Amino acid sequence: MIGSSARSSLSTPLAKPVVLVVMGVSGCGKTTVAGILAEGLGWPFEEGDALHPQSNIEKMKAGNPLTDADRQRWLTNIAERVEGRLDAGENGLITCSALKRSYRELINRRGAGVVFVFLAGSKSTIARRLAARRAHFMPSSLLDSQFADLEDPGPDEPHIRVDIGPPPGVVAQGILRELGLSYGAEVRDD
């Protein structure tokens, strides 16, 4: 059950406003789960892959993993989108692999207003998903490099960890429970 597999570093209610960064390796379901959450919550959603420079997309299509230098501009774009939403006083969702702690520190450079939603699953589960996926620039051959770069969020990072085993709608419901949200609900200052 999702509730028993969710883990959180959150000890206080969500910041107001909040941007949920749905993270994990390619194929874990970031876009699907974030889309379900955005629709139910009525929050704006941005696909982080759309912010990659074309050179990154071409490199991945060719089967070459990105380096930290390759990711820098992309991560800065993600951070700017997060900050724009927070500056506007709006909640939102964005997808981003956010594989390393240093990447998450850049995205959350303000130190407030961001919660990372880590979609965690085994390499074999994700490999099966990637094998079934069509029309995506990220080839399954890069999965090993994704897991090699992955640093699980630490207890001092604002995050929840959710197992991707259940269907996406169940995963989304577990995220809502863990964050104390419900569909149609706004995070408010009371």
The residues with which 30 forms a beta bridge, in sequence order, are none
Q: Which helix H or strand E contains 179, and what residues bound it?
A: helix 168-179
Q: Assign 46 to helix, strand or coil.
A: strand
Give the per-residue pLDDT at 183.
78
* Helix, strand, coil share (%) of the chain residues, nearest 5: 45, 15, 40
d(Cα 143, Cα 139) in Å, to the nearest integer? 8
Question: What counts of helices (H) and strands (E) characterise the chain?
Answer: 8, 6
Spatial separation of the C-alpha atoms in residues 33 and 54, rounded to whole Å: 25
Q: Beta partners for 93?
A: 20, 45
From first to last of the 190 residues of the chain, give the pLDDT tens digit: 333 345 566 656 677 899 999 999 988 999 999 999 999 999 999 999 889 888 888 887 787 888 899 989 999 999 999 999 999 999 999 999 999 999 999 999 999 999 999 999 998 888 887 776 665 555 556 778 889 999 999 999 999 999 999 999 999 999 999 999 887 655 544 3
Query: Rounded to two decimals, what is the model's pTM?
Result: 0.86
Whole-number pLDDT of residue 62: 82
pLDDT given at position 185 = 56
Burial of 18 (C-beta count, 10 Å sphere; 0-12/13-18/19+)? buried
133-176 pLDDT tens trace: 665 555 556 778 889 999 999 999 999 999 999 999 999 999 99
Residue 141 in 3-state DSSP?
Answer: helix
Give the pLDDT score at 88.
Answer: 95
- Residue 99: what pLDDT? 94
Class assignment of domain 2-179?
A: alpha beta
